[in-house]
Amino acid sequence: MSKHHGKHRRDRSPEETGASASQRDVSHRKEGSRGKDGSRGKADKKGEARRTGHRPPSSAHWAREAESRATAAGETIDPRLAPAAPGIVTVQPGTRCDLDAIDANTDGGLDKEEAKAALATERARIATLQERLYAEHKRSLLVVFQAIDTGGKDGTIRAVFEGVNPQGCRVWSFKVPSAEESDHDFLWRYHAKAPARGMINVFNRSHYEDVLVVRVKDLVPEPVWRARYDQINDFERMLAAAGTTVLKFFLHISKDEQKERLEARIANPDKHWKFDPADLVERRSWDAYQAAFADALTACSTPHAPWHVVPANRKWYRNLLIARTIADTLEAMDPRFPEAKAGIAGMTVPD
């Protein structure tokens, strides 16, 4: 497994990476395709560029700006955060996330049965530490899962949190916003579900949807979703300052793997409830989603809340890496039972 250890540094310029080339293509396609929502088309933008001398930055330009902003400040991941389990690729703040360069299929050379046994050990660690966190009642943990359809968010949550006291753990799944949610700022519904002191909250999809599906499907004008990367970073910085450790996992699967998983859902009547024919339409936007994921992971991997990319084609490997990282994170938080009230040790209970 050690050969997969270590941080994956991405120092290549956007032009040198295949992912970025597709991002440029996507941004160009999108420029020509907007207009329904009142945002400007390509011709208008060119006109504005002539008048003002200012052109809105392309995806690649903007990604470079995001990188240099963080590196210029010399920011590195907060040393109080535990490193991710070896096998996970953590996006270093200020470096470009190149998903194409990360092998979704790896199993780290691990044996499946051994990994399952190791998962049980990690679950026990999480359960023990969760009790301390709950008893301490000072800090909290927010675990964010993002992935493409069939990426394995539901399965991960089921496997990793089995055995954790449900009283100290809440899972929130975010769907298409309701009318009430849409009437508020985009962070409103997520902030309301952030963990209280002592709690572990899990986001099955999250505030990142507002720079992912929203961007890919062109649900708001580009300047609106572009501004959200900074807004998300500010939101997470505020949570961290308030005592919430923010742990973000991107479940990285390959396009072939998604095909297999969709086919398996079609083949198994017990899985039909999970199959949405719209997933086939979404699959056509695979490249646009990958570009949106890469941009979000680049712009929002910060010293206080870095992104962790998990090779996720092998479910058992994915589960182990995530469980281990959560256990290590809780251990690094080092939650303590509160001090007992004086004199309890010698007390007797009256009949």
In the complex, the residues that contact ligand AMP under the rule CB under 6 A are: 174-177, 205, 209-210, 213-214
Would you list the DSSP string of 195-237?
A: PPTT-EEEEES-GGGGGTHHHHTT-S-HHHHHHHHHHHHHHHH
**SS3 call for 3:** helix
Could you tell me how far CA 141 lies from the centroid of its own chain?
Answer: 14
Closest distance to ligand AMP from the beta carbon of 207 (Å): 8
Choose between 174 and 188: whose C-beta lies nearer to Mg ion: 174
Binding mask 139-178 for Mg ion (x = CB under 5 A): ----------x-----------------------------
Q: Report helix, strand or coil for 171.
A: strand
DSSP three-state, residue 73: coil
- Starting at the edge strand found earlier in the chain, the sheet holding 140-147 runs 89-90, 307-311, 244-252, 140-147, 200-204, 169-173
Q: What character string, x for contact with Mg ion (CB under 5 A) and - otherwise, covers 99-128?
A: ------------------------------
Residue 149 or residue 209: which is nearer to Mg ion going by CB?
149
From the list Mg ion, ligand AMP, none, pick the one residue 232 interacts with, judged by a Cβ distance below 5 to 8 Å according to partner type: none
Q: Which is nearer to Mg ion, 34 or 274 (CB)?
A: 274
Distance CA 198, CA 135 (A): 7
Q: Which does 257 bind (CB under 5 to 8 A by kind): ligand AMP, Mg ion, none?
A: none
Question: Least Å distance between CB 226 and ligand AMP?
Answer: 16
Residue 210 vs 236, nearer CB to ligand AMP: 210
Q: Which residue is nearest to ligand AMP (CB)?
A: 209
Tell me the closest approach of the beta carbon of residue 225 to ligand AMP, in angstroms. Answer: 10
Amino acid in position 284? R
In the complex, least distance from residue 300 CB atom to ligand AMP, rounded to whole angstroms: 15
Nearest distance from C-beta of residue 182 to ligand AMP, angstroms:
9
Tokens, residue 19 = 């992912």
Residues 6+ away with beta carbon under 8 Å from 299? 63, 66, 229, 233
- Measured at the CA of 263, the angle between CA 261 and CA 266, to 5 degrees, comes to 115
Select 205 or 324, whichever has its Cβ closest to ligand AMP.
Answer: 205
Which CB sits closer to Mg ion, 148 or 247? 148
Q: How far is the CB of 149 from Mg ion (least distance, A)?
A: 5
The distance of closest approach from Cβ of residue 209 to ligand AMP in the complex, given in angstroms and rounded to an integer, is: 3
Helix (H, G, I), strand (E, B) or coil at 80: coil
**Residue whose CB is less far from Mg ion, 149 or 236:** 149
Give residue 329's identity as a one-letter amino acid code.
T
Residue sitting closest to Mg ion (CB): 149
Residue 303: strand, helix, or coil: coil
Backbone angles phi, psi at 113, to 5 degrees: -70, -40
Binding site for Mg ion (CB under 5 A): 149
